[in-house]
Structure 1
Amino acid sequence: MSGWIQRLFTRRWQHPDPRIRAQAVARLDPTREEDRHALEQLIDDDDAEIRLKALAKLHDPAWLLERLSAGSDTPQLRLRLIDLLVGRETGITLHERLSLVERLDDTQLLSDIAMQGDNQQLRLAALARLSDEEALVQQACENGIAAVRHAAAERVKSEEGLTRLTRHARRDKNVARLARERLNQLRADAAQVVQAHAERERILQALEQHAQHTWEPLYAGRYRHLQREWEALKNLPSAEQERRYQDACLLCRKTITDHEAQRHVHEVADRQREDAAQTRQSLVEALEESLQGLRLGERLGTQDIDSLRAQKRLLASRWQALSDTHPPEDALRQRYDHALDEYERIGQAWERLGQKAEALQQALAEDDRACLAALHEECAWPDWLPPTPLLERVRNLLHEDSAATSLSHDQRLQAFERDLQELERLLQQGAFKGASRLHQSLRQRAEHLPESRLHPLLGTLKRLGAQLAELRDWRGFVAGPKRNQLCQAITELAADDSIVDAELDRRHRQLVKEWKELGDAAADRELSTRFRAASDRIHERLAPWRETQNRQRERNLEARQALCEQLEALLEQPDPAADPDALRDIRDRAREQWRRHSPVPRDQAEAIGRRFGRIRHGLQALIDRRAQEIASAKRDLIEQARELQTSFHSVGQRAEQIKALQRRWRGLGRAPKGEEQALWREFRTICDAIFASREAERDNRAQRAKAQLDAMQALIDRIDAWQPDTSQDTTLLDQAIAEAESLEPLPQGRRSEGMRRRWSGILRARRGRLERLAVQEEVERWKTLQPLLNAHLTADEAVLMGQEAVDVPSDDTLSGDMIQAHLHRNAARRHPPTDTEVEETLTRLRVHLALLAGARVSPQDDPLRLAIQVERLNNGLGRELTLAEELHGVLREIFATGPISKSLWMREASELDTLLTKLLRLPPS
């Protein structure tokens, strides 16, 4: 089919010619289904006018919105939708438009509806769907309804958006004020976050430093104080800060736990020391009781001496074992030494008597009184010690005729009565051995006293004897089965080959100790023989093991002797500046080493133990002396700190000096235990007071800095919102600059740097505006001089035509140096320069004005431009002129130049006006 036939049968709205399609659109009826379908296709036509006409026929905004979302996004469709939704066309209710707006997501369409809507509710609904901050700032600045502007301003959150609002919201001062308040609040919140972060960093650094310190009396209190400060902060810490905080807390708790464990160990050691002291006291009391029983006895026999020796060996062994762990008190050691001295005197007397016993027997047999007296004198038997049977026979023989040496009956009765009271006391205490000896002595002494005078005391003696017999029976009743049990146990122990030597020795010693503790209660010869035979078999079996133990004891003894020698060398030449803590460490390690080298040979254990005890006491005395010296030095530091607290130094200097004193304090070491805590508490109180004053000064400085920054911020906001209207407003700007200089120097920080940058930018903008205003005012004043300038040009033209020179009268528009320029112009007509000079002057002034306006000059004027620039540089060496002042000078010279021909002025005037117009451009506000 040919082209013209095809066009003949094609519908007009589908015609290739846009004019015909446009005519067809006007005939389409949207109420008809076919025409409406055509209109719906024509809204996507290639011709914009046809699309606009087709859209004008459609009145369903819901369908148009569907087409927009389906991809038919054209400017004409958007304009039609805006016309329908903002209410420019009737027929669509407000409720329908609100429901459509609530489903919209197109930012530009919503922004246009919020800006052009015919109803406040419609605009607010469109604004509520907006989420782009740029669109919200535009609505807050340009919307015609105040409620919409305020709602949009309320939703601007970012600092950049609020800053734009403060600069561009000139239409609504409330919006600008709200933006400034929220911007200030936002910046204050940011500063507060920075300050809180810095505060957390300060607490973290203090806590981390505290975690590295050793324990001191106020360590836990300082840790809890820092912990409370951390928890009191309201903002949340960062993950890194939380990790550092937990690590520091873990170290602090470890230090506190270690100290608590150490304190527990010390408490356990104190309890063990008390137990050892009680055990030693019971041992000393037992030895003293045995010695007292010997003194109170009537006769002293071999069995008594053997029993005393066995008890002394057992006591010395246990005493040494306890002393290796904990040193005894001086009073208890003196009692022990006194008891040992008495034991030694008894032993020495017994040894002397044993050496003379055979000679005494022979002298008694020969009845040699002189030899007996000499031998008795050589024995030197103590008066307080009961004699042996042999010694009593010698004394009776030597003193049978000496009445002076015998006691009177009264004295003997008094002594007898006192011993009865002592016997009763011993029975009440259950001391069987002492009571038995004293009872035997009383019975023997009763035989030599008058019966008549002794009769009242015999009843008491019989009663106490009955109690003693009852006690003996009771001991025998208890001791009998116990002896059988011990005999059977040691027999089984001797026959058991599976027990290791150490355990065998321990159990054997325990059985022997229990056997000896029974004494003579329920004594049985057969059981004793069996017990002794089993014990001998165990001794034979343990002989190799004991030989090994003896060699180990010898090595231990050598090690203890070497340790004593080292400590004695230390005590002979002590370091006057020795650290008590180092000495305490030496003492503790020496004690540990002493315990490790145990046991030692029994015959030398006591001697080496006493030697080590003396060394330990000397070392402790050295520690105490050095600790007292440290305590004295710490008292001096406390006095220095107290003087520093009342000194006139600044708070920062006092804080630094007190830190130096704290370092010296830590370097001194520890004072005596009870005194160290009191000294540290006093010193720490002074330190806390100085640091508290520093913190108060910091808070005051921070408050002053905050007030200074707030004042500067208020000044910046005020000058930022202010726009000068005339050049005379320079005074206000100078006042603001003076006020800013009075607030300097600002505190160091990013906020201060930001304020300085912003203030510098505002000052440049305001100075630039004032300079442009001054230029504008200068140009305006030049315009007011145009009538007078035209009069001068007319007079100049008359002079140049050969007429007589006439002065142009002045008017009220002239002021300042323009009057001198006016007079100079009148004088120049009377003595006119050449036309070339006038032309050159005008050319120079035009080039100068072009330089001020930043305009280009012709190539032939380049040398003149360079000369003017050099002249400007030379003139600016003293004080650089402002643009307005320099423009005023150029205009003054133009006004004073003459006479000027009309043709020359017409040629120069148009370019001068162009340059002045260019100078009138003001910078954007």
Structure 2
Amino acid sequence: MSLARFFSKPRWQSKDESARRAAVASDQEPELIEALPRLAREDSDAGVRIAAMKRLADPGLTQAMASDDRDEGVRVAARSLWAELLSGTHAAAPSLADRLRLLRAQDDPRLIEQIATSAPEAPLRLAALQRIDRQTLILDRATTDADPEVRLAALARIDDEGQLARIVERTRRTDKTINRLAAERLENLRVERGDVDAIALRARQLCERLERVLREGDGSEEAADIASAWTGIADKAPPTFIARYRNARELYELSRNPDAVARLRQRAEDRVRIEEQIGTLERLLAEHRGSQQRDELMQRYDELAEQHAAYAQDVDDSSAGVSVRFARLGAQIAALEPLPRNELAVTSTTETEDSARLAEQTERAAQAKAAKAAAREQKIQAWSDELQAAIEATASAMQTGKTAEAHTHHASIGRLRRQIGSVPASLRERLADVESEYAKIAEWQRWSDNERRRQLCDELELLPQAGLHPDALATRVREIQAEWTHLDQIEARSVHATEGMARHFRALCRKAIEPAKPYFEKRDELRKQGTKETSELIAQARTDAAAEEPDLRALPNLRRQLADALRGLDRVDPRERKNLAAEIKAALALVDERVSARNATVEAAKAALTDRATALGEVADTRTAISQARDLQKLWQKAGNGKRSRDQAQWKTFRSAIDAVFARADNERVERSAQERKALESAAGLCAELEALAIGDAQPERAAVQRIESAWRELSPADAALRQRFQSAQSRLAELGRRIEKQRHRAQFDIWLSHYELCRQLERSELAADGYRAAEAGLPPLTLGGDALRARIGDALEGQELEPGDPDLLRDCVLEIEQLAGLEPPAEDRQRRMDLQLEKLSARMRGVNAPAPDTALQNLLAEWLQLGPVGVEDAPLETRFKRALHAALDTLG
């Protein structure tokens, strides 16, 4: 890997765990996206694994990490993410079909319960509910789930009476369907268990339903359902309800018997036909004109006798009236006598003086009377027709079992009879039959209604001990009162007929509602308080909205309070609700007007900010544009909130303009980063070149060093590590130059010392002349003190034996060299060294300049050669000389 690439390693590969976590959570590099699965499974840091897992949101990987990861925190986070993905609350959740499929493979109860409560799709919640066994959660779903099918499915899985009772209580005002079904299931369970009260209540309800069918008619399907339900409790119901149901059923069956209805209809038609013929004969009898007409009446009477004989075979109350009229008609016809053939016309006319005038008055009176009689006759005829239709409608309703219609038509009969006065003879018998049938039905219904009234009174007596909620208690009392009134209306009778029972009923109503009075009094108190608070809120809204400079930021909150008050008017006095609703709406209109004005102001301000943000695209300097964009964002926040939909639309436009500015800054930053990265790579390359020059053994070319340093100055990188690296390479390069110079400077002393060693070996006869020459040929030539040393070597080659030098002078020379090298002399020579130092100090004080160390060393070497060789007894002195010389060379470089 190159150094440049090493220094530009991406953040997600950093050794810093926090940097990796941040990069995994937000960076968009393709290599990172590809490596996310591996990081989620293998990264050493738990936080990085969690960030990668959340970034991927892959169901398979998440489920595996929820159970297999080595860190408990990661497993907890994975389980949470897995629940969100499976329930559909996560943005990257799979499709509904996939989640339904995945749900079937799950066995964690907590996960399934979370899906059943938080999944947004009803089919998924329903599928999860089917796998739940915890009854408390099922009860909660039956009362709180948003989907009716899920609530019904949850209710179907509840068989406990206590839980069903709680469902009935919870859903009394929220879900009528669930409330009704739960109440029915609760009642069924109690009936199956044999609860006496439940069975009695079921029997009463069935009897009431059947009696209602009898009153209203057209209820064959409902009657069949009632019969089926009665079969389940027939052997358990109380005797009173058994008798009541039997009577109602007999009446219903009678009204639904086709043969009996057909027979009654045929008899009615026969009766009408016979009555019409009897009426005709009665009119002829009143107008008879002699024996010839008497004979005709007898003949027609004999023909009618055959029809009457067939009709009178079934003896009942209706046929008895017809038979009486028939017998009376026969007697009247038989008593007729022939009229005289020559009937004398008796006319007596008294003529008076004013006969003409009287005749005229009489004529006018007769005409007026005739007109009035004709009008009255027309009315009577019309009423008679209506009466006949009402009679037939009443009879038909009674025959088909439609009791309610029979009551209505019978009331019309009473009204028409009062208008007509005397019922026409042709309708009397038919009316008598209908009245007889109606009296029977009315008596049956009166008995049934009185039984129902007694049952209502019994129920009222038990209501205070039923433990109902006060509202439910009051509702039931109102229902009972409404049913009592309905019974009175159906009977269409005077209230005095049941006045005693009615007084008892009213007393029971007051007694039943008595336990709920404290509740209603407290509720009235709370409603008064609610009325007061609502009125105060309305007054505050009017004051705040009508102010010259209202608090515009507080108006939306005030409007929400008014809207909540309008929705919560059930907490105020019902008598004040209409007025308060109107006042709240008026206050809302006033607030809306001010809010609209504020919204317009906010919209205008934000439109101006949007225009300024759009204009930032023309600003050349990106830094200036960024600064102005931040200022505009602050001004946008200060502008406040207007109408939500308009705010969102303006925000999108404003945000897109601001994002364009920051995107431009990001692009420039990316380009600048690329340039900086390229410069860093170039700087790193220069450092590498300089370091390569510094690690050699030879002195680098000056031009190459100058080129690198010039390029470095042009780049001027700000990276501290690279600058330190370049400075370190420069230091090593300078050290190389000094080392090479030192080696060059010391080489001449090393060559001198090598020749001096050969010379000493030659002087000590340790080396022959030929050996010396061979060894000397392998050494570099002398460049330092060559004359003196060659002279001694020449003397040694000629065989001359030199006198040893003066030991004291030699010792002084060694002390001088040791002083240059910084070596401490032996104890016996320390005083001598001090004396030499004092001499040098005295010379410097006299103005004699001391030579440079290098020159001083050359002088000492020359002096050493001049002093002559070291004697055998002074051999340690020569050893000190060599050691001091090496130390001096190391010191002087």
Normalising by structure 2, what TM-score?
0.38
Larger RCO: 1 or 2 (CA < 8 Å, sep 6+): 1
Normalising by structure 1, what TM-score?
0.37
Larger radius of gyration: 2
